[in-house]
Structures are given as structure tokens and as C-alpha cells.
Amino acid sequence: MSGFPGRPFCVERTSMGNGKAMTGETRAGEAADACASRPDAATRPADACASRSGADAAPRGGRPVRDDRLWTPVFLFVIGVTLFTFLVGQGLNAGTSVYITTLGGTATYAGLLATVFSVAAAAARFICGPIVDDRGRRVAMVAGSVVMMAGTIGPLFTGDSELMILWRFLQGVGFSAATTASATAAADVLPRERLGEGIGYFGLGQALAMSVGPALSLFLVSTEPHENLFVGVTAAGALALVFSLLCRYEKNPSVLPATSAYRVRWERAQLDAGQGERALERAEGDAAPRESLVSRVIEPKALHGALPALCIIPSVGFVIFFVGLYGTVLGVGNAGLFYTVSAVSMVTVRLKSGAFMDRVPAIKVLSAAVVCGIVGFLMLLAAGALEGDARSAVFYLAGLPYGLCLGVCQPLNQTIAVKCSPPERWGAANALYQLAIDVGMGASTVVWGVLNDTLGFGASLVGSIVCLLVGYGMAWLAYPPAERRWRR
């Protein structure tokens, strides 16, 4: 392929087993062994490999090379894809129901459209994972953005509420493809030893979209004409497409950090055959056993992170769909301020995630996050027993510990799911993780709705605390042994 240099590499830059950068001595030794095993080793100059490995291992002053860059251009492009894709998704989730009422539709029909989006997104995960792994991340991101935009452009020309089922279906499929591919691309381009920290930063796009998207969409749908909602989300989808087109690292992996998973696989393939991308694809194809349909779609090793996420996400679902209504019932003015506080808290903890995400055992980090989540829900419960300004203050401030919980739990479990899966299966791993989120979120909203109507919001808040505790217990069972140790 034209995008890959043809010269062979004599160095493998990282040890995939422990996720830590090799020392200069180790890299030099492995490089020498690799070059010695080449067929032309006998005819190569004696110092050829030594000089090459020495340059990589200790260029000047005897220090090993450390290439753990995080903020590369391609990583920023991937964050851009995520930000604008989630702006579309979150904006449509909040604004579509209001738009339907302007057309004379009912709340029941608006709920049906929300279900269509969720089911389409969840079903598409089964297809998107293998496509991301086989056809590439950029292809899936571009295709997903185009399909999603088709679903947002359609209402601009039809104005028919019945066709909204088709448009919501396309929106769900496109959203699923773009988010699955962008999550996989983020894992591709991050240095292995900073994977957890990087995924935390990657989640900033989602956090910003969660705070900006709903407010922006509600503003747009309140203007004349109401179709301005779809003009706005189409513009966001177009920006997601532009950033998707800029994610060209698969054609030139040498621009990535030395320990990033995609570059390591590419260099291994060059070491074996010296034929770039084709060698990479052939090496993976020859090594992979024949797979069943189920194994192609689902990466079982991702369950290490997906199962705890599945148990924890219902508590997030209650907050997203019902905390605003809970605040209204309590008589809290501007209940949406809770989401603003939680978004600020979430962004702050993710910006600080480098201090602990890859340095502290996962179970220890999760313990602190679950405690914060429980405190947040207890504060929401306490708000119901207070009056006046005290009630409002406690209600708003509950967003602080909740945001800390959410800002840690999601990237932490996603990091576990990715790290436990082989890099060539990261598409399927991310698809399974996102599917767990979709299923947990969708199923829980029905349960919370019934509990709210029959037993009151207090029962749902207690149920959310139970979900956090169940997720914590599942983590002790599902996390790999190294991440269950209290100390490294």
C-alpha cells in the first residue's frame, strides 16, 4: 500500500503483555534477536542491527527512548468525532419529543421514536464491531456519519411525523457505527502505558456533548421554524464527518506513539514480511482461527469491563431520564442546574485522571467512584426531606459527587474491556461494551418509570444505590486479578 514505507523494522517497540514501555536494553536485545532470525542475517553487516537497535534504545546519553505522546493530532480528531457525534445523539434525544408535539404528535409516539433509536443503535453494534475490525476504523466512522446525517436531513424535506420512524432508525444506526469506531480508534492511537488516562480524556467529548447537546437542541426546536433543530444537528454531523475523514492514521501508522497498539501491530507485520498494511492484514488473517458468527460479533474478553458497566449504568439512566422530573416534583427551580454541576465535575475528574487511572489498581479507583455515587444519591434522597433554599442547594450539589462517579466509572470499565481484549478485536470489544451500556440504559428506564409511578422517586434512588453496589461486587468477580489487588 502506498501509505506504508517498505523498509523493514528491526525493533518491536513495546511489550503487549504488561503494557509498559521496554527499557533500552530490552529493546536492543529483542531487536538483535529479531534481526538474527531474519533469513538474510548472515549477509547483513554485523553492525547494521546493532546500530539500529542502539539508536532506538539509547540515542544519546545512554537514555532509552520514551514516546508516550498523548495529545497527537489524530487523537484530537478522534475526540472531535466523538464530540460532534454525541452532540447529534444527545440533541436528538432531547429535542425530538418536543418537535413531535409541534407536529401534533403524542408523548407516547415520542417515546416510541426514542425506543426505535435505542433498538437500532443496539442492534447495529453487532454489525459494527466486525466491520470496524475488518474494514477499518475510518471507513466505519465515515459511513456512520453519512448515515446519521441522512437521518437528520430527511425531516428537513418531509415534515411528516410518520416518517420519523425511518429517520430515527437511520440516526441510531449511524450513531452506533460512528461511536463504536471512534472508541476503537482512540484505543488504537494512545500509548499503551497511558491507555486509561487517554480514554478518560477521550470521554471529554461525551461529557461536553451531554451538557451542551440537550440545551442547544431545546433552544433550536423552540425557534421558528422548528426544523431548525435538524439544521443544527446536521451541521454537527457534518463536522463529525470532517473529523472522520481526517483520521488517516491507518495509512501511516508511523505518526502514532511508539507503544500505540496499531503501530506496534504494523511494525510486527513489517518485521515479519516487510510489506506494510497487506502484511498486517495477512498476518492477522493467517493467525486467526476460523470463527463462528457469534465469536465474530462478540469479544468475550471484553466482558471483564462490560459486566460491571452493565450493572452500574442503570443508576446513570435514572439520572439522565428522571432527575430533572424529580427536581420539578420537589419544586426545585431550574432543575437542569444539577446536570451542569455534574458535567463540570465529570470534566474536572477526567482532566485529572492521569494521576491515578494507569497507576492505581482499577478496583481501588472504582471503590472511590462508587462511594461518590452513593453520596450523590443519598443527597438527592435528603433533598426530598428538606424545604426551601436548603432543598435546592442539596439537590444541585448532589451533582458534584455524582459527576465524579460517572467521570471515573465509564472510562475505567471501558479501559478494562479494551486492555483485556486483543488489539485486532478492539472493534468487537468496544461494540460489546457499548451494547452493555445500551441494554442497561434502555431496560432500566422502564423499571425506573414503574417504580416512580408506584412507589415514588425514593424507591428509584434506593434502587440506583443498589445498582452501584451490585456493579462494584461484579467488578470484584470480573476484573482481571492484577486489577483486583489493592496495591500494585
448/469 Cα distance (integer angstroms): 17
Q: Is the pLDDT of residue 63 over 50?
A: no
- Domain identity same for 91 and 218: yes
Among the candidates 229, 257, 285, a domain finishes at 257
Give per-residue pLDDT as tens, 333-345: 877 788 888 888 8
Stronger pLDDT, 232 or 44, i.e. the higher one: 232
**Torsion angle defined by CA atoms of residues 296, 300, 305 and 308, in that order, rounded to the nearest 10 degrees:** 120
Q: Is the pLDDT of residue 354 over 70?
A: no
- 53 domain-assigned: no
Residue 40 falls inside a structural domain: no
Mean pLDDT of the chain: 78
Indicate if 241 and 305 belong to the same structural domain: no
Helices (H), 331-361: 337-351
End-to-end CA distance of the chain: 43
Alpha-carbon gap, residue 235 to 423, rounded angstroms: 33
Q: In terms of domains, do 320 and 402 share one? A: yes
Q: What is the pLDDT of residue 201?
A: 81
Of the listed ranges 285-299, 389-403, 436-450, the least confidently predicted one is 285-299
- The pLDDT tens digits for 121-175 are 888 888 887 888 888 889 999 999 999 999 999 998 886 777 889 999 999 999 9
pLDDT at 51: 35
User: What would you measure as the largest C-alpha separation in the chain, in angstroms?
Assistant: 85
Same structural domain for residues 217 and 342?
A: no
pLDDT of residue 320: 77
The domain total for the chain is: 2
The percent of residues in the chain predicted with pLDDT above 90, rounded, is 27
Tell whether the model's pLDDT for residue 64 goes beyond 70: no
Distance CA(240)–CA(243), nearest Å, equals 5
What is the 3-state composition of the chain as percent helix, strand, coil, each rounded to the nearest 5? 75, 0, 20
**Considering only 44-48, 61-65, 150-154, which range has the smallest mean pLDDT?**
44-48
CATH number for the domain including 173?
A: 1.20.1250.20
Percentage of residues of the chain with pLDDT beyond 70: 78
Q: Which of 257, 283, 318 is the last residue of a domain?
A: 257
Q: Flag whether 176 is in a domain.
A: yes
Q: What is the pLDDT of residue 35?
A: 42
Does residue 202 sit within a domain?
yes
Q: For residue 291, what pLDDT is reported? A: 55
Taking only the tens place, the pLDDT of each residue in 233-263 is 999 999 999 999 999 888 888 888 877 878 8
Q: What are the Cα distances from residue 26, in Å, to 10, 18, 61, 72?
A: 13, 14, 17, 26
Within-domain flag for 417: yes
Pair 99, 238 in one domain: yes
Residue 344 placed within a domain: yes
pLDDT digits (tens, 9 = 90+) for 408-454: 888 889 889 888 888 777 777 888 888 888 888 877 877 888 888 88
In a domain, 482, yes or no: yes
Strands in 365-417 per DSSP E? none
Separation of alpha carbons 170 and 88, rounded Å = 12
Mark whether 229 and 309 lie in a shared domain: no
Q: Which domain holds residue 210?
A: 72-257
Last residue of a domain, one of 230, 257, 284: 257
Where do we find the cell 450539589?
397
For 45, the 3-state DSSP assignment is coil
Q: Are residues 212 and 91 in the same domain?
A: yes
Together in a domain, 240 and 312: no
In a domain, 355, yes or no: yes
Residue 21 pairs in a beta bridge with: 14
> pLDDT grade, residue 224 (50/70/90)?
confident
If asked whether residues 198 and 328 sit together in one domain, one would say no
Q: Model-level pTM? A: 0.68
Same domain for 454 and 343: yes
Q: Which of 339, 333, 326, 352 is nearest to 451 (CA)?
A: 326
368 & 439 share domain: yes
pLDDT value for 31: 41
The C-alpha R_g of the chain, in whole angstroms, comes to 24
Domain shared by 456 and 322, yes or no: yes
- Select, from the ranges 50-54, 119-123, 356-360, the one with the highest average predicted confidence (pLDDT): 119-123
Beta bridge partner(s), residue 166: none
